[in-house]
Homo-oligomer: A and B are copies of this chain.
Amino acid sequence: MAGLKKQVFVGTFISSKSPKELDYQHDTIVCVDGEGRIVKVDTEGGSTEQIGKRLRETLNWELSDVDVHIAKPGQFFFPGFVGECYSPRFPRKTLTETPDSHVHASQYPNVGIFGKTTLLDWLEKYTFPLESSLKDLSKAKRVYGSCVRRTLSHGTTTAAYYATIDVAATNLLADLCLEIGQRALVGRVCMDNPDMCPSYYRDESVEEGLEKTKQTIRHVQKIDPEFKLVSPVLTPRFAPTCSSDSMKGLAKIQKELDLPVQTHVSENEGEVELVAKLFPESESYTQLYDDCGLLTARTILAHAIHLTEAEAKLIAQRGSKISHCPCSNSSLTSGSARVRWLWDKGITVGLGTDMSGGYSPSILEAARQAALVSRHVAMGMDEEKERSKLTVEEVLYLATRGGAEVVGLADRIGGFEEGMEWDAQLIGLGSVDENGLAEDDGNVNVFGWETWEEKIAKWLFNGDDRNVKRVWVRGRTVHVR
């Protein structure tokens, strides 16, 4: 990672100032050092000579020593997307899953496949067999390599991954993230409840599960000792597949090593009932995680659709974060998570693709779907209808700073402030000539009369990986189109 050439980025930079507002900085220069850190944001503009002079005076940099990236007219730099991207969950209803602030990397081949399966069916028919098969490392390499490259091509610079229960395949995913250059939380999936997991795909005992998890932690510590790019994440699949001893064991590791945790909560009503039945001693699904010591400020809870007021209050108190996975929730008929309601409670929210529960590898698609799902929430309300809807600005906040807060990296990624790391994407939109012919291959057509706000809305709603011209993580170019 070290030893990158110094870089200077020139052009328009757009990022979230707050959930309500995007910041548009034109004619701006962002300087990134050899460690991928933003060391200067210069908005003074001017001639090359003037810029060179300022670089020399403030950073002691010579323009001739740096790589200069100039955005073309109409292009802009945007923070890389941050997303949770899981591995198989239990309560599947009718579609399948894909990756990011909740990505099940192992399920990537199944995106779009779900048929008419429900709940247990889905896991048994599609998910467990696929996950289990990834103990074949050549297959894992193919699936994970494809998943990491694909999410990067969509501008996802940071992903929280659920791998599988297999140690070697989980370690391979961490290796691939480091090699290809995606910032990632990589978790070995823990699942040891023999009543809920198939005999061919589960941890044999609490001890075995914890030991295997430690093996993956040690591996990641070895390949990236300072967690510069890749971090382990404790990953109890979700309560129904885990014994309380195993969850408590993971909580103990969490406290010792101060690691992040990821799991699912309250995705669908059947699951909530099941948890109540399996763990009658806990007052609620959320309370169960708290009783096991897993509801920490570093915990990422996916879905959180059917929470009670008491559960939301508890999550807010503990400072746990929520990964909203709208694509998955609509596809599987899980329900519509109430982002405004969660925000009102003071809870931090990010986005997840939840492949293959969600069908798309794109966090931009997740942001789009978050806008749509918020409107379905509004349809069901008598009051606060308008307020429930999420704006373009708000869903792009979820996709960047929100996600960064969820994965505990808000001080390093999600914006373009000095001191942050250069995790960014260069976005280009296509323009239309006098005959209506588009210059660009993507689906965003710019006619020339749009304001910047309108261009951003067009990008959100019709943009895809074709608009992502280049992606950087910690200053390193990791994708070029």
Query: Interface on A for B, CB 8 Å cutoff?
Result: 94-96, 98, 108-109, 111-116, 118, 138, 141-150, 330-333, 335-336, 359-362, 368, 371-372, 375-376, 378-380, 385-386, 389, 391-392, 432-438, 441, 443-445, 447, 449-450, 453-454, 457-462, 464-466
Contact between B112 and A436, CB atoms less than 8 A apart: no
How far is B458's CA from A324's CA once the two chains are assembled, in angstroms?
A: 23
Contact between B379 and A141, CB atoms less than 8 A apart: no
How far is B457's CA from A155's CA once the two chains are assembled, in angstroms?
A: 24
**Most chain B CB within a 10 A radius of its CB, from A143, A146, A368:** A146
How far is B332's CA from A450's CA once the two chains are assembled, in angstroms?
A: 21
Chain B residues positioned under 8 Å from A449 (CB to CB): 109
Contact between B458 and A443, CB atoms less than 8 A apart: no
Select from chain B the residue with minimum beta-carbon distance to A93: B375
Distance in angstroms from A273 CB to nearest chain B CB is 15
Given contacts A115-B457, A457-B113, A460-B112, contact A146 B375 (CB under 8 A): no
Chain B residues positioned under 8 Å from A465 (CB to CB): 443
**Most chain B CB within a 10 A radius of its CB, from A333, A362, A378, A386:** A333
Select from chain B the residue with minimum beta-carbon distance to A109: B447
- Interface pairs (15), CB distance under 8 Å: A98-B462, A109-B445, A109-B450, A111-B461, A112-B454, A115-B392, A145-B436, A146-B436, A150-B443, A331-B371, A331-B375, A359-B461, A361-B443, A361-B462, A443-B464
Distance in angstroms from A7 CB to nearest chain B CB is 27
How far is B118's CA from A335's CA once the two chains are assembled, in angstroms?
A: 25
Select from chain B the residue with minimum beta-carbon distance to A453: B115
Contact between B462 and A464, CB atoms less than 8 A apart: no
Contact between B143 and A450, CB atoms less than 8 A apart: no
Distance in angstroms from A241 CB to nearest chain B CB is 25
Distance in angstroms from A226 CB to nearest chain B CB is 27
Distance in angstroms from A22 CB to nearest chain B CB is 13
Contact between B438 and A331, CB atoms less than 8 A apart: no
**Most chain B CB within a 10 A radius of its CB, from A94, A385, A443:** A443
Contact between A437 and B149, CB atoms less than 8 A apart: yes
Select from chain B the residue with minimum beta-carbon distance to A138: B434
Contact between A432 and B113, CB atoms less than 8 A apart: no
19 extra interface residue pairs, beta carbon distance < 8 Å, beyond A112-B444, A149-B436 = A95-B371, A96-B457, A96-B461, A109-B450, A111-B458, A112-B457, A113-B450, A116-B391, A141-B435, A142-B432, A142-B435, A145-B436, A145-B437, A148-B436, A150-B443, A330-B372, A330-B376, A332-B375, A361-B462
Contact between B113 and A360, CB atoms less than 8 A apart: no
How far is B150's CA from A437's CA once the two chains are assembled, in angstroms?
A: 9
Contact between A141 and B436, CB atoms less than 8 A apart: yes
Select from chain B the residue with minimum beta-carbon distance to A376: B376
Chain B residues positioned under 8 Å from A150 (CB to CB): 438, 443, 445
Chain B residues positioned under 8 Å from A98 (CB to CB): 462
Distance in angstroms from A387 CB to nearest chain B CB is 11
How far is B116's CA from A118's CA once the two chains are assembled, in angstroms?
A: 37
Contact between B443 and A94, CB atoms less than 8 A apart: no
Given contacts A150-B438, A432-B142, A432-B146, contact A112 B461 (CB under 8 A): yes
How far is B109's CA from A444's CA once the two chains are assembled, in angstroms?
A: 10
Chain B residues positioned under 8 Å from A138 (CB to CB): 434
Cross-interface CB contact of A335 among B143, B379, B459, cutoff 8 Å: B379
The 8 closest A-B pairs by CB, nearest first: A145-B436, A112-B461, A146-B436, A359-B461, A112-B458, A333-B375, A330-B372, A112-B457
Contact between B458 and A113, CB atoms less than 8 A apart: yes
Distance in angstroms from A391 CB to nearest chain B CB is 6
Contact between A438 and B391, CB atoms less than 8 A apart: no
Chain B residues positioned under 8 Å from A379 (CB to CB): 333, 335-336
How far is B42's CA from A83's CA once the two chains are assembled, in angstroms?
A: 49
Select from chain B the residue with minimum beta-carbon distance to A114: B457
Given contacts A94-B389, A361-B443, contact A435 B113 (CB under 8 A): no
How far is B144's CA from A384's CA once the two chains are assembled, in angstroms?
A: 39
